[in-house]
Amino acid sequence: MIDADISIYENKQWQRDHALWSQEVRFWQHETERLVAMLYLIERAIPDHASLLDQHISMVDKHEQRIISYECCGIDRYCLETSPDYKTLKQQLCCHDELSKVHEQMRLEHQKIKELYSTEMKRFRTLLLKLLEESESLFND
């Protein structure tokens, strides 16, 4: 025959176990949701950042082509006046001034991207470290 006191004690222990398990599962669910949210932030930010870098690379390449074009037909001392690429001194100065302004704009744009890159990489690193720390704490508890 089962002792009533033992049965009551075991039943209360089972209820405490169940309450603890339920509490742990709710905690795990909450922590999992937080980790998923952090992953989402990282996952969402990386393509945006990569797209911005792709656009900047395209702008730098385009600027490089303008510089090469300028070198080929804008400042060639030996370009003959009969050449279709020939530019008068006034035209050369105008091209040079324009290219100088564009170059300054590219320099400023590049500096802005450089600062953004640094900021974003720090943010990604912080999020990743936080994600790692929090995931490790889940496994160490």
pLDDT at 74: 59
pLDDT in tens, 70-79: 776 656 666 6
| Confidence label for 23 from pLDDT (cuts 50, 70 and 90) | very high
Whether pLDDT at 83 is above 80: no
pLDDT for res 18 = 95
**Domain spans in the chain, listed from the N-terminal domain onward:** 4-140
What pLDDT shows up at residue 57?
Answer: 93
Res 73: pLDDT = 60
Share of the chain above pLDDT 70, in %: 90
User: How confident is the model at residue 86, as a pLDDT?
Assistant: 73
Q: For 127, how many CA atoms within 13 A lie in the half-sphere containing its CB?
A: 19
User: How large is the average pLDDT for residues 9-22?
Assistant: 94
Token look-up 């082509």 returns 65
Please report where in the chains the tokens 């996952």 appear, as a residue: 43
How much is the pTM?
0.61
Sole residue written with tokens 């912080």: 126
Length of the chain: 141
Indicate the average pLDDT of the chain.
84
> In this structure, what is the dihedral angle of CA atoms 85, 86, 89, 90, given to the nearest 10 degrees?
-60
